[in-house]
């Protein structure tokens, strides 16, 4: 089921070059493993923060249907004008998938309008991700739940606008819960947040996680591309001329 | 029914000093008329763009329960750090009411994450504002609808996240419709957008419009004040130690 | 673009046999004209109230992907057990499209839980239906709006649960507005309410209206079929035995 | 803080008369313990299924601001006309709080339109109820979470329309999660579902649970009382007479 959808997999690509425990899991970068999962079905391109314009020049975004984003240590190093460019493109119709610690990325916080803060703990929690929407495209092929033997705990309160569709809730061994899969529309684009994916765990090798991200790309595929406009149209019906005495105040 | 709620009425205060037709309607500024409407019930303070920090220093915001915002010509002149300060305060719990052309203010667009674009026309349209939620605090004392003999037309598509509660829909003489009263929560704060209020019309002298803004202030009153946090708590349940062979990838 | 989707077009088929002005517009019944619009793309079946089980036996519903419903004079004559059968099938995943006066049908009110009341007037109002969601499948091929030269006025407040997606708002010549196109999900099924379609007007011959109903059928197509269940699963994690002193109250 | 709000606490009152282990926890019925929690603040009345009209005659409902409902074994024994009476009253503005196994009550399913099914297990699970909305009236005085040492497990997928506000998520020791506190509006009334309260556990003696139910009553208090209507108003604007050639079809 090859698709012509064009996905850009973005990664800040920092931990993998500075931290041996991350390197051991993702020797070529987290983006390489996510790209590998998506290349089974889509036309995949990768981009990283150290590239000019963070690899996200206008022409790259113009040729991107869905953008996936992984960032953590370098959130503040992402240039504001690039963030605005990505946001504009999402609002025109491009799909956007925020992965794990991208909850704190500038672009995700821009799209949400909130702090996107949460509780967290690196303690080898087991996670069970419950599927609340068996009919939703993002859960296709996932049963009642999937499990990760170890994942960073992310816990409520997750400071986000209410998801327009809450797809997954995570159960954590240490006692917390989390809205792990959340859908929104912003402008003409679709946005999915998906919680799993800590850099020291092999989460992006997990078959269910890979399937969910592929499903999310398909769900987030653009339906339209509508550039910004603020039109000033003539009336469609006749407007009765008003008695307008020098703009004076009503009494 | 005096209230201890502290409202800051913000206005860019530009048109009233540069345009005679606006001056004729709002000789002391739009903020003076809105403040007058609110002073019937609340403790009111005003602030304008030309003041230091646009009149929105930390201590002003700390002493503000609900902030109302009117801007148009000067949106881009509002400093980004002040916008971030206001956003932070809303997310902590302060109420925020965006009036009319404030749909394009930096702060409203920040809270929404979208372009907030719309159709518009200055053509003396009559507007009828329909009340969809007779039980909602914002519509208290408003009947099935209220009317404005002349208002700037704002038409759909209004590019906003879906309102969490759609309170008013506007009918325009020239043939358009608009989601004229929209509620959201962002962080711990409440946000209301209210469409009427073009600077050349005496909208803010209208008794129903004044009542609605007072109602909205009461609705938007803070319930909590919770500063930003991203806690790292210990587990609440015992976590089984995992077999973690050198962080290796799962197979 | 032939589709294998199976649509059942249901009509009470009363006005067309009792009222000459309706007969003049829909000589073979409203269902015949709707079925004609849908047969361009789907496998279409019709059913009417006078048939055994109102034409909605279990096997018919089992072979229906999307059910469209038009009713008015005969709402109360629809048997409760058939209503429950249809509801069960929707909750399992079948799409359901309520047309015009079906807002008061037993089945629509059952799915909504509210009265579904509204304002109405038969006075040859012109209607302009505004498209709020240009990227939504239901608005595909519809521009900014479509118009009906004459339609029954339906006005707010429409007593429905908030639509999960508000697709259309209607503007009426006589001064009212209406949420004319509304999406919900109920159980595993999708529900669309679409306001146009008064029996004395040729609404269902209009090209835009026909396109919207076809779009809605495609949107409402079942994604799953999941029968009712209320499972009693064993625990997935070990539960610590509790000290349970004879079920006594906590103190 | 005495309130004049009138609460009717409804209980089917079956298990407590037939099952010794329930009798040991709630010797005078679950309603007696809930009423006791509410009487600290409100004017409380109780009603049970064995009374004439299940204790819910028109005059009782007319004098009820908020109705709480506990049922389980006797759901099907509740008369349909009483269910309709309660539904009508909720849609007019009365608050409704469905407790625990009331998820399957006729009245709750009527208000939701869905099956309201879920997973369940009686196995002494510990439950931790996470507070997602620290600013919401229903969570006032509850911290980040509250705990129940033993509760019946209710697990997702809970088949409900998406809550308009999701207030609590439950974490269960056996590995499941549940949307434990959910808010909706139906008609002019407010509806809260709250999951804890299995009949063999002393849940309704727990201070946090009692506080949450009191909070919920305050939140669900009627804002209006609006009886059913379906008005046929004259136009507010002049309607142009249409050329209507014998009702003929458009071409």
User: Is it the case that residue C246 has pLDDT exceeding 50?
Assistant: no
Per-residue pLDDT of A24-63, as tens digits, reads 999 999 999 999 999 999 999 999 999 999 999 999 999 9
Examine residue D246 and state whether it is found in any structural domain, yes or no. Answer: no
Cα D61 from Cα D7, distance rounded (Å): 10
User: Is it the case that residue A245 has pLDDT exceeding 90?
Assistant: no
Whether residues C188 and A236 touch (CB distance < 8 A) is answered with no
Q: What percent of chain A has pLDDT over 70?
A: 96
- Cα–Cα–Cα angle for B31, B32, B37, nearest 5°? 95
Q: What percent of chain C has pLDDT over 70?
A: 96
The pLDDT score that the predictor gives to residue D249 is: 44
Say which of C164, C202, C248 has its CB closest to residue D162: C164
CB D194 within 8 A of CB C194: no
Per-residue pLDDT of B50-63, as tens digits, reads 999 999 999 999 99
The pLDDT score that the predictor gives to residue D245 is: 52
The pLDDT score that the predictor gives to residue C250 is: 41
The residue-averaged pLDDT of B140-145 equals 98
Examine residue B176 and state whether it is found in any structural domain, yes or no. Answer: no
The residue-averaged pLDDT of C110-115 equals 98
Nearest to B123 by CA among A59, A55, A244, A217: A244
The pLDDT score that the predictor gives to residue A112 is: 98
CATH of the domain at A19: 3.40.50.880
Examine residue B198 and state whether it is found in any structural domain, yes or no. Answer: yes
Structural domain count of chain A: 1
The pLDDT score that the predictor gives to residue A3 is: 86
Please give the structure tokens belonging to residue D197. 């309260």
Within its chain, how far is the Cα of B9 from the centroid?
A: 11
The pLDDT score that the predictor gives to residue C190 is: 98
CB C145 within 8 A of CB C126: no
Residues on chain B bordering chain C, Cβ-to-Cβ distance under 8 angstroms: 128, 130-134, 144, 155-158, 162, 165-166, 169-172, 175-177, 179
Describe the crossing of helices B30-39 and B207-220 by its angle, rounded to 10 degrees: 70
**Which chains touch C (3+ CB pairs under 8 A)?**
A, B, D
CB B137 within 8 A of CB B215: yes
The pLDDT score that the predictor gives to residue C152 is: 98
Q: Please tell me what DSSP assigns to residue A210.
A: H
Examine residue C64 and state whether it is found in any structural domain, yes or no. Answer: yes
> Worst-scoring range by mean pLDDT, A247-251, B242-246, C190-194?
A247-251
Say which of D93, D135, D164 has its CB closest to residue B135: D93
Whether residues C132 and B176 touch (CB distance < 8 A) is answered with no
The rounded mean pLDDT for chain B is 96
Examine residue D211 and state whether it is found in any structural domain, yes or no. Answer: yes
Residues on chain A bordering chain D, Cβ-to-Cβ distance under 8 angstroms: 128, 130-134, 144, 155-158, 162, 165-166, 169-172, 175-177, 179
Examine residue D233 and state whether it is found in any structural domain, yes or no. Answer: no
Please give the structure tokens belonging to residue A132. 């609340």
Per-residue pLDDT of C168-226, as tens digits, reads 999 999 999 999 999 999 999 999 999 999 999 999 999 999 999 999 999 999 999 99
The residue-averaged pLDDT of A60-82 equals 98
Residue D235: CB atoms within 10 A of its CB come to 16
The rounded mean pLDDT for chain C is 96
Cα B83 from Cα B68, distance rounded (Å): 14
What confidence category does residue C243 fall into, taking pLDDT thresholds of 50, 70 and 90?
Answer: confident
The residue-averaged pLDDT of B78-90 equals 98
Whether residues C137 and A223 touch (CB distance < 8 A) is answered with yes
Examine residue B30 and state whether it is found in any structural domain, yes or no. Answer: yes
Q: Is C243 left (phi over 0), alpha (psi -120 to 50) or beta?
A: beta
Per-residue pLDDT of A163-173, as tens digits, reads 999 999 999 99
The residue-averaged pLDDT of B216-242 equals 96
Whether residues D110 and C113 touch (CB distance < 8 A) is answered with yes
Partners of A188 on chain C (C-beta within 8 Å) are 134-135
Cis ω on the peptide bond leading into residue D157 (within 30° of 0)?
A: yes
Residues on chain D bordering chain B, Cβ-to-Cβ distance under 8 angstroms: 93, 128, 134-137, 164, 173, 185, 188, 222-224, 226, 236-237
3-state SS assignment for residue B130: strand
User: Is it the case that residue C245 has pLDDT exceeding 60?
Assistant: no
**Model-level pTM?**
0.97
What confidence category does residue B73 fall into, taking pLDDT thresholds of 50, 70 and 90?
Answer: very high
User: Is it the case that residue A178 has pLDDT exceeding 60?
Assistant: yes
Low-confidence ranges of chain D (pLDDT < 70): 1, 244-251
Say which of D157, D165, D171 has its CB closest to residue A171: D171
Examine residue C145 and state whether it is found in any structural domain, yes or no. Answer: no
Nearest chain C residue to D21, by CA:
C247
Per-residue pLDDT of C21-44, as tens digits, reads 999 999 999 999 999 999 999 999
Per-residue pLDDT of C125-143, as tens digits, reads 999 999 999 999 999 999 9
What confidence category does residue B30 fall into, taking pLDDT thresholds of 50, 70 and 90?
Answer: very high
Taking one residue from A and the other from B, the number of pairs with CB-CB distance under 8 angstroms is: 162
- Domain span at residue D103 reads 6-113+182-220
Cα C52 from Cα C79, distance rounded (Å): 11
> What are the residues whose beta carbons fall under 8 Å from the beta carbon of C248, sequence distance 6 or more?
D24, D25, D202
The pLDDT score that the predictor gives to residue C3 is: 86
> What are the residues whose beta carbons fall under 8 Å from the beta carbon of B20, sequence distance 6 or more?
none
**Residue holding tokens 């009233």?**
B16
């Amino acid at each position: 089921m090859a698709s012509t959808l064009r996905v850009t997999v973005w990664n800040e690509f920092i931990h993998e070059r500075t931290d041996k425990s991350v390197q051991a899991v993702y020797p070529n970068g987290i983006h390489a493993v996510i790209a590998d999962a998506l290349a089974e079905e889509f036309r995949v391109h990768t981009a990283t923060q150290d590239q000019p314009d963070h690899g996200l020049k206008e022409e790259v975004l113009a040729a991107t249907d869905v953008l996936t984003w992984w960032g953590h240590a370098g959130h503040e190093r992402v240039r504001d004008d690039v963030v605005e460019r990505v946001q504009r493109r999402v609002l025109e119709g491009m799909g956007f998938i925020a992965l794990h610690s991208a909850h704190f990325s500038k672009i995700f916080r821009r799209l949400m309008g909130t702090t996107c803060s949460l509780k967290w703990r690196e303690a080898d929690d087991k996670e069970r991700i419950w599927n609340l929407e068996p009919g939703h495209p993002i859960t296709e092929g996932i049963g009642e739940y999937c499990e990760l033997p170890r994942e960073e705990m992310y816990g409520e309160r997750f400071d986000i606008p209410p998801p327009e569709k809450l797809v997954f809730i995570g159960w954590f061994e240490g006692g917390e819960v989390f809205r792990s899969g959340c859908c929104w529309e912003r402008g003409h684009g679709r946005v999915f947040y998906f919680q799993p994916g800590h850099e020291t765990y092999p989460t992006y090798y997990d078959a269910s996680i890979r399937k969910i991200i592929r499903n999310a790309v398909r769900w987030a595929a653009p339906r339209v591309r509508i550039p910004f406009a603020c039109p000033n149209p003539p009336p469609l019906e006749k407007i009765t001329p008003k008695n307008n005495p020098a703009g004076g105040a009503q009494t």
